Amino acid sequence: MELIQNKVAESGLITIDLERYLPEDTMVLIDLKQFLFMQMILKEKEFREQLDQHDWSAYTQKDVVVHCTVDAIIPMWAYMLITNRLSAYARTVYTGTPEEAIKQKTIHAIQSIDIEQYRDKRVVIKGCGEKEVPNYAYAEITNLLSPVVKSLMYGEACSTVPVYKRK
């Protein structure tokens, strides 16, 4: 009887699934239009009063996205004031569109990977899964790992596309 050899398991490849770094929890949105006069103009005095009256505890340990859904000129200090108020409660505060916040959070998660565990290793970035992984996530992991890995590939352990190989 001939033994079946699992060459994939014996190859020493390490697979990274980028789906693990995609945000799972929902972000809470704060739309600045609620603080605008006629949903067009930010008046500093009224804005500060509204901030004083707002219940910031509702954002405790949440990821918050501060954005504006109307076409208005929002001064930079307005984002600073809201972020300052949220900082005592929120886990993280992002500005921009919800999509931009998801991108920031994903990139931050990828950048927090301990790259030393992949030093001089052969790494495969998983290509298919249940969730769509955006292009920027693949670019970020490539930037992060290329300086330390022996080789970097895309796909599945049984069928990879070479991306980088140290010479």
The rounded distance, in Å, linking the Cα atoms of 118 and 115 is 5
> What pLDDT is attached to residue 4?
52
Predicted TM-score (pTM) of the model is 0.79
Backbone φ and ψ for 153, nearest 5 degrees, come out as -135, 165
pLDDT along the chain (167 residues), means of 10: 52 90 90 91 95 96 95 94 96 93 95 96 91 95 97 90 91
Tell me how far CA of residue 47 lies from CA of 22, 35, 65, 139, in angstroms: 34, 6, 18, 40
Q: Is residue 121 exposed (0-12), middle (13-18) or buried (19+ Cβ within 10 Å)?
A: middle
With contact defined as beta carbons under 8 Å apart, do 46 and 37 qualify? yes
Cβ-contact 145, 110 below 8 angstroms: no
Residue 8: per-residue pLDDT:
45
Element (H, E) at 8: helix 7-10
Which is nearest to 141 in space by CA: 115, 166, 165, 121? 115
User: Domain coordinates of the chain in residue numbers?
Assistant: 7-23+107-165, 28-103
Per-residue pLDDT at 77: 96
What pLDDT does residue 6 have? 45
pLDDT of residue 40: 87
Structure tokens at 120: 């001089």
In this prediction, residue 39 carries a pLDDT of 85
pLDDT value, residue 2: 64
